[in-house]
Structure 1
């Protein structure tokens, strides 16, 4: 159920895990970004950060590839609020530019870049605001990737699920609503040449991350609507604030493969058991979560 593992550079280079993973049919990857820094130009006191790690990135990529890595990932965090002031234009410009430079450098070194815009949901944003922010950020990223000549067929996108913030006081969106929001975001912002989409779990619980992934892939599995394209377009126009089921199914059917790239959402229970000394239980818990996530990636 696991096809790739993202390692820290130190783990890849010092523990020589790449051959072990490759023998088991698992592709090794490595985290390319380093520390964050307070972002100049963002609203005072906003807490927005930029991501570092571009210095000497090409040389590091060459070293990682020689050690057996075949892909990398770069996380770019974004804050979101209901007022619409976050993410700021400065944050979008800086982070999208950094992601594009990272992706271009990685491809030059023969590695597949995973582009990870991680939109925070600890604030007060509504689901619609989250949708709008995701579309704005992801669209800006792909505009920058085009400027830097990144081959989209040789990239993966690792987005967060659009959702209402933890401080949002309205009704909590259901997994079905999250799925509809996710399909809407991806259809509006991701070019069709992108090879695949691997969702991050962020601060979601195990159950939430699985439910959201399953709900999205159920839309994909349903297949496109049978109505002519003109009919679905007219339906979308008539119901522009609430995209209808037929339109969603058609949009979902056009998306690249949707699967998972979970950290805590895959390992939390296993790590708890491992720390407690229950090594066999940790292995069983990890295997169970991997199977659950794999089924969710198929809408099952």
Structure 2
């Protein structure tokens, strides 16, 4: 089992490729559609995902896996072709978001705990039968004047470990996502505060993973980058963010993990690409680093599509461009000049 899990993880970390996060909940995609004045309907959600998945050049050359929702895992394109078949034709591994969302943690700290463990073993069996090769569970760690608390870090780390071992039992690679969020209130924490919290979170997560018996060679990590809060006056350089992030990872992530796929965490498209490329220019890392982006891959494509099937080619070109740029970042060869020229 460990060998086959490792094989899936290695394929997801294929050189120059990354993971497309297309697992927006109905509420999240409703907000994104609202920004371009679109109603949140089943047909429009289907058309949008179809546009992305049928971006042949992007999917074949730059994407190794796609995180889906339950709806999308079983959905068909307008012509009746299952999305799973479209992904298989591009040699892309389908994944599935399995958590049920982050909910307020009891107490006054403004923290959240991710739920969804009840019935997860049975759901994972079904997802595996539908062809899901990997899964994702997101824990949200808030930074404010009183948070994160040790209780919240421990509770989220424990839930991540329980999720991960259930995934491996079902033959599914768990993508473990502990996200230290930078946009909570007041959102003015420093780069060093983020680094300290990220390190503490990762230390606790890997402690719980080991206690649960999770095979580290059969999982992937999806962490935040180390960044100051959104309302901080601190403006670190791209190189400072890259060095600080890699330093924290070196201290707390075992070399046995097959790879790290970053979330974009509210960065602009180009910021997420620039930081990833700078990290890949740092020598001596024991694991490959790539992307697992949602908004940072989809923003321009979503606006270009605008709910119209006739806009598919232009939207697919926009998506392919961002996927290509992030592929270069995963190789450490991206530059802003190249991005603008392309």
Q: TM-score, normalised by structure 2?
A: 0.75
Note the residue ranges of structure 2 that are not aligned, 5 or more in a row.
Answer: 1-61, 77-81, 334-342
CA RMSD of aligned residues (A): 1.1
* Partners of 1:37 and 1:254 in 2: CA distance: 35
The equivalent residue for 2:300 is: 269
The equivalent residue for 1:11 is: 72
CA contact (8 A) 1:121 1:164 kept: yes
The equivalent residue for 1:299 is: 332
1:153 aligns with 2:217: yes
The equivalent residue for 2:245 is: 182
* Partners of 1:34 and 1:25 in 2: CA distance: 28
The equivalent residue for 1:91 is: 152
**Correspondent of 1:257 among 288, 305, 308:** 288
The equivalent residue for 1:141 is: 205
1:239-272 deviations in whole A, cap 9, x for unaligned? xxxxxxxxxxxxxx13301000000000110011
The equivalent residue for 2:105 is: 39
Cα drift, residue 35 of structure 1: 2.4
Note the residue ranges of structure 1 that are not aligned, 5 or more in a row.
Answer: 221-252
Cα drift, residue 287 of structure 1: 0.5
CA contact (8 A) 1:7 1:28 kept: yes
* Partners of 1:154 and 1:65 in 2: CA distance: 15
SS in 1 for 2:63: coil
- Superposed counterparts of 1:40-55, under 5 Å: 40=106, 42=107, 44=108, 46-55=109-118
* Partners of 2:84 and 2:65 in 1: CA distance: 11
* Partners of 2:171 and 2:198 in 1: CA distance: 29
The equivalent residue for 2:320 is: 287
* Partners of 1:182 and 1:135 in 2: CA distance: 10
* Residues 67, 87 of structure 1: alpha-carbon distance in 2 compared, 3 angstrom cutoff: same
* Residues 276, 8 of structure 1: alpha-carbon distance in 2 compared, 3 angstrom cutoff: closer
The equivalent residue for 2:181 is: 120
1:109-137 deviations in whole A, cap 9, x for unaligned? 11000000111112111001111000000
1:45-99 deviations in whole A, cap 9, x for unaligned? x321100111111111111111111000001011113x5x321111101100000
The equivalent residue for 2:120 is: 57
* Partners of 1:283 and 1:168 in 2: CA distance: 35
Q: After TM superposition, what 4+ stretches of structure 1 lie above 4 angstroms from structure 2?
A: none
Q: TM-score, normalised by structure 1?
A: 0.85
Q: Which has the higher contact order (CA 8 A, sep 6+)?
A: 2
CA contact (8 A) 1:19 1:68 kept: no
SS in 2 for 1:47: coil
1:211-264 deviations in whole A, cap 9, x for unaligned? 1001100113xxxxxxxxxxxxxxxxxxxxxxxxxxxxxxxx133010000000
SS in 2 for 1:3: strand
The equivalent residue for 1:80 is: 143
